[in-house]
Amino acid sequence: MSTGKSKLDTGLVRELASILRDADLSEVEVEHDGLRIRVSKPAATVATYTAAPAPAAPVIASPAGMTTETAPPAETNAVPANAVTSPMVGTVYFASEPGADPFVSIGDKVKKGQTLMLVEAMKTFNPVEAPHDGTVTAILASDAQPVEFGEPLIVLE
């Protein structure tokens, strides 16, 4: 079977594989005289772990011999009722630029629509505004910290 192109140089493929391994790359591709060669490593297997199930609520025997369950313990990471949460996954910033005064501090009174912080995602800075008038009672994240969608960042009472 002849395609009119020169025979594949296996030495070149081996050299590319060597570069891939030595440079710890996942893929290398070259194109020369209309011949394109791509050498890639298979994707690494990622180990996943699952948490053990939470223990069941303790069972207490009542005097009549009946059993009842106690209420499950309160969640320790509950979102405060008046928390302003992150609207997206990104990085939170509490000032407009490094070294600048923060938008708000604990104890500050804020008006609805006032900028509380910025969440940067995809190189875009998105202002997070106060949903209502109130006083900043807690700041739950630190400047330049990665945040998740719905993560509480500021408590506004």
Ordered structural domains, the chain, with CATH: 10-40 (no CATH), 83-156 (2.40.50.100)
Contact of 30 with 13, CB cutoff 8 Å: no
The DSSP string of the chain is: ---SSPPP-HHHHHHHHHHHHHTT-SEEEEEETTEEEEEEPPPPPPP---PPPPPPPPEEE-TTS-EEEPPPPPPTTPPPTTEEEPSSSEEEESBSSTTSPBS--TT-EE-TT-EEEEEEETTEEEEEE-SSSEEEEEE-S-TTEEE-TT-EEEEE-
pLDDT of residue 81 exceeding 50: yes
Contact of 85 with 153, CB cutoff 8 Å: yes
pLDDT the model gives residue 107:
93
Residue range 122-157, pLDDT digits in tens: 889 999 999 999 999 999 999 999 999 999 999 998
pLDDT the model gives residue 76:
52
Distances (CA, A) of 72 to 54, 56, 75, 76: 10, 8, 9, 12
pLDDT of residue 51 exceeding 90: no
Task: Name the least confident of 6-10, 33-37, 46-50, 67-71.
Answer: 67-71
The residue-averaged pLDDT of 78-101 equals 88
Neighbouring-strand partners of residue 95: 102
Distances (CA, A) of 45 to 19, 20, 41, 42, 48: 22, 18, 12, 9, 9
Which residues neighbour 21 within 8 Å (Cβ) at sequence distance 6 or greater?
A: none
pLDDT of residue 103 exceeding 90: yes
Q: Which pTM value belongs to this model? A: 0.51
pLDDT of residue 40 exceeding 80: no
